[in-house]
């Protein structure tokens, strides 16, 4: 099947690999012949806070998911928010979540300043957990939900209201 773009970028921390990450990657593979996947380095991810899995673990989990994909892809470490999207003219599109869409706009501003063609920005909605709140690695680390978005622990206030 011919896909719309030859080279697509997608990036993230990919901590506690979850259903939202799968959705992001699936969209990148749907539209791109080749997908360049950037995974934040340990140093870059440290700015997001404590408890993030080591880059080696995050890349291994990502590779396990990608193993069955019938597509050409490359996984690389990211030491900044932009990776090679601002230095490689060959990129045609970037797949982002609503949360990271502003970074895609920054990338396009840098590309424009360098005389590169702007990337088409493909934005996907966040994937909600069973409680209607978006799935996030932070919520998984807190033990609120599992990677598929199923509720693990209820917030005390919600339990108290149920008993009344």
Report how far residue 134's alpha carbon sits from residue 125's, in angstroms, rounded to the nearest whole number: 9
Q: Is 23 within 8 Å of 107 (Cβ atoms)?
A: no
What pLDDT sits at residue 155?
55
For each of the chain's 164 residues, which pLDDT tens digit applies?
679 999 999 999 999 999 999 999 999 999 999 999 999 999 999 987 779 999 999 999 999 999 988 889 999 999 999 999 999 999 999 999 999 999 999 999 999 999 999 999 999 999 999 999 999 999 999 999 999 999 996 654 454 444 44
Residue 49 pLDDT: 75
- For the chain, how far is it from start to end, CA to CA, in angstroms? 56
Query: In this structure, what token pair is assigned to residue 68?
Result: 């069955």
Residue 159: per-residue pLDDT: 46
Parse the chain into domains and list their residue ranges. Answer: 5-163
Measured in degrees and rounded to the nearest 5, phi and psi for residue 77 equal -80, 145
Q: Give the separation between CA 107 and CA 103, rounded to whole angstroms.
A: 6
What is the per-residue pLDDT for 158? 52
**3 state DSSP class of 106:** helix
pLDDT of residue 161: 44
- Does this model's pTM top 0.85? My answer is yes
Query: Can you tell me the distance from the alpha carbon of 146 to that of 139, in angstroms, rounded to the nearest whole number?
Result: 8
- CATH code for residues 5-163: 3.40.50.620
């Amino acid at each position: 099947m011919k896909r719309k773009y030859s080279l697509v970028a997608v990036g993230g921390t990919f901590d506690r690999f979850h259903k939202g990450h799968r959705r992001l990657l699936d969209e990148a593979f749907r539209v791109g012949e080749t997908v360049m996947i950037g995974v934040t380095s340990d140093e870059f991810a440290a700015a997001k806070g404590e408890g993030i899995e080591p880059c080696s673990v995050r890349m291994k989990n990502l590779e396990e998911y990608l193993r069955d994909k019938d597509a050409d892809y490359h996984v690389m470490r990211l030491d900044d928010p932009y990776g090679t999207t601002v230095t490689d003219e060959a990129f045609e599109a970037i797949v982002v979540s609503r949360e990271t869409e502003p970074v895609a706009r920054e990338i396009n501003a840098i590309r424009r300043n360098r005389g590169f063609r702007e990337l088409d920005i493909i934005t996907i909605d966040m994937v909600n957990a069973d409680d209607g709140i978006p799935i996030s690695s932070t919520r998984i680390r807190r033990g609120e939900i599992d990677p598929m978005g199923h509720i693990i622990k209820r917030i005390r206030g919600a339990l108290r209201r149920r008993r009344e």
